[in-house]
């Protein structure tokens, strides 16, 4: 599983794009915002919220899984225009220790059982978006999916977007057998990369939220080419991602 394609020069985040994002949030902040909204709506199902919150939930889960697998700090943002649905960013020093910004735009789709096939749901998003986009498909179904077979089929059929991920609550059958209590599986989220390579990563949401609460880099903003953590001067309230 990888975020940066070292063979491509298109991953560098243009500075003007950074300036358009007033704040970048750690993905735990996105999850926390969705959980507060769920509490206000008296629901335990994030997919019953408005579309913007569903996208924030899926994008936050995706970035959370990715930072666990990549061992990098990630931040998320919701651009003013759609597409993309979400954007995520990381900062990596080069050989001269200069900070390089890397970003990916995310298009989110949902596979709901009883509608189109899973592969058609993904391919419907395979259109010529600008930039270096990622498709993240949130799986809402019961049953078994042959992920490797699906990956092989997608790699042959994708024409425009070449980074595709599946995201779902729960674990594979083999992982479930290892858990002492089946209820533990509820807290698990699995991310499967289908293209351009096949890989999988599982996280525990409660563990990731605990890490976020202790994080002192919950917010990032950029001014005049410099990186700042936290709120701007004279600001005291952490801004919401969804306004």
The pLDDT tens digits for 34-79 are: 999 999 999 989 999 999 999 999 999 999 999 988 889 999 999 8
Give the pTM.
0.89
Mean pLDDT of 83-96: 88
Question: Which pLDDT does position 226 carry in this prediction?
Answer: 81
The 3-state DSSP class for residue 241 equals: coil
* Confidence band for 3, pLDDT divided at 50, 70 and 90: low
Higher-confidence position of 225 and 118: 118
Residue 17, pLDDT score = 58
- For residue 182, is pLDDT > 70? no
Nearest to 131 by CA among 32, 9, 18, 1: 9
**pLDDT given at position 96:** 83
Structure-token pair, residue 154: 């997608």
Strands (E), 75-216: 75-77, 86-93, 99-112, 133-140, 164-169, 188-195, 199-204
pLDDT in tens, 197-226: 999 988 888 888 899 999 999 999 988 778
- Sequence ranges of the domains in the chain: 15-229
**What percent of the chain is predicted at pLDDT more than 70?**
85
């Amino acid at each position: 599983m990888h975020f940066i394609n070292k063979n491509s020069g298109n991953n560098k985040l243009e500075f003007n794009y950074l300036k358009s994002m007033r704040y970048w949030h750690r993905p735990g902040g996105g999850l926390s915002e969705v959980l507060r909204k769920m509490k206000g709506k008296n629901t335990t199902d994030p997919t019953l919220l408005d579309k913007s919150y569903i996208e924030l939930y899926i994008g936050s889960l995706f970035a959370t899984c990715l930072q666990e697998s990549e061992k990098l700090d990630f931040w998320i943002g919701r651009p003013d225009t759609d597409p993309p649905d979400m954007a995520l960013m990381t900062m990596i020093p080069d050989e001269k220790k200069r900070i390089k910004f890397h970003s990916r735009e995310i298009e989110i789709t949902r596979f709901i059982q009883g509608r189109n096939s899973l592969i058609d749901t993904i391919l419907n998003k395979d259109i010529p978006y600008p930039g270096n986009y990622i498709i993240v498909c949130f799986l809402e179904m019961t049953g078994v999916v042959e992920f490797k077979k699906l990956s092989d089929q997608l790699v042959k059929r994708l024409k425009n977007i070449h980074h595709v991920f599946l995201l779902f609550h729960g674990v594979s059958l083999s992982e479930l057998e290892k858990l002492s209590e089946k209820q533990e599986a509820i807290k698990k989220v699995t991310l499967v990369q289908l293209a351009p390579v096949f890989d999988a990563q599982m996280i525990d949401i409660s563990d990731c939220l605990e890490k976020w609460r202790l994080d002192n880099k919950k917010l990032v903003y950029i001014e005049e080419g410099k990186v700042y953590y936290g709120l701007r001067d004279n600001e005291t309230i952490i801004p919401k991602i969804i306004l």
